[in-house]
Chains A and B, each alone.
Chain A
Amino acid sequence: DAGVIQSPRHEVTEMGQEVTLRCKPISGHDYLFWYRQTMMRGLELLIYFNNNVPIDDSGMPEDRFSAKMPNASFSTLKIQPSEPRDSAVYFCASSPDRGLSGANVLTFGAGSRLTVL
């Protein structure tokens, strides 16, 4: 398996523009997570899906952020309109479970570095 695939790796955009980040989880993993990494807050969970259904989006900072998972092999995180404070590295991760049983762990993608000017 190629692991968790994220695109784009780097995105530079201007304030007010729409940004779409994409993720392909590991085949067979039922859980998909979106994290954001910043210096101030470290790795923070934005939202996670189970079998394509959003379960917990309490970490989504505001209504400008939305995430979808139309099928088991694809998810998007959209920011509209984007703002400079959204600049961060966004990680997608997948797992066989929510991490509540056994020692199953998250497998992260390489991340998408977003810069909003």
Chain B
Amino acid sequence: DQQVKQNSPSLSVQEGRISILNCDYTNSMFDYFLWYKKYPAEGPTFLISISSIKDKNEDGRFTVFLNKSAKHLSLHIVPSQPGDSAVYFCGSRGADGLTFGKGTHLIIQP
């Protein structure tokens, strides 16, 4: 049973608009959440993170929101750019280390 779920395998967004990627988790003991970005033929690279004691973290065009009561986090990208087209993995940190979701393939259309 997946502890971290990304229910949208893919998402298509027009350039300049907002991209919202969602992630749900089941383990209330997760204390840190991270987003990784992956381009084809490359390894995932760290994008942004948030501690469970916060509800928002912003870094430039990227903002992660955490709703602990709903066990839900989201990544907002504003404005979306062509270089944002990639697979995004949501990761949650617990006693067993990092657990990742299946990923969401974001496609930014011109």
Contacts between the two chains (Cβ within 8 Å), count: 58
Which residue on chain A has the smallest CB distance to residue B43?
A108
Interface size on B, residues (CB 8 A): 24
A107 to B34, CA, bound (A): 13
Interface residues of A in 95-117 (CB under 8 A from B): 98-100, 103, 105-111
A49 to B98, CA, bound (A): 14
Q: A43-B89, A105-B34 are in contact. Are A33 and B97 (CB under 8 A)?
A: yes
Q: Pick the most buried of A48, A56, A93, A106: most chain B CB atoms within 10 A of its CB.
A: A106
Query: Do B44 and A43 touch (CB < 8 A)?
Result: yes
Which residue on chain A has the smallest CB distance to residue B98?
A99
A56 to B94, CA, bound (A): 14
Verify if B42 is at the interface (C-beta below 8 Å from A): yes
User: CB within 8 A of B44: which of A44, A48, A56, A108?
Assistant: A108
User: CB within 8 A of B49: which of A91, A93, A98, A103?
Assistant: A103
Verify if B100 is at the interface (C-beta below 8 Å from A): yes
Q: A4-B43, A91-B44, A105-B46 are in contact. Are A42 and B97 (CB under 8 A)?
A: no
Helix, strand, loop or mixed for chain B's interface? strand
Verify if B59 is at the interface (C-beta below 8 Å from A): no
Query: Do B43 and A110 touch (CB < 8 A)?
Result: yes
Q: Pick the most buried of A40, A93, A103: most chain B CB atoms within 10 A of its CB.
A: A103
Verify if B85 is at the interface (C-beta below 8 Å from A): no
Query: Do B98 and A41 touch (CB < 8 A)?
Result: no
Interface residues of A in 17-61 (CB under 8 A from B): 33, 35, 39-45, 48, 56
Cβ of A103: which chain B residues have Cβ within 8 Å of it? 32, 49, 51
Cβ of A42: which chain B residues have Cβ within 8 Å of it? 6, 89, 100-103
Closest 9 CB pairs of A and B: A42-B102, A108-B43, A43-B100, A105-B46, A110-B43, A108-B44, A109-B43, A99-B93, A42-B103
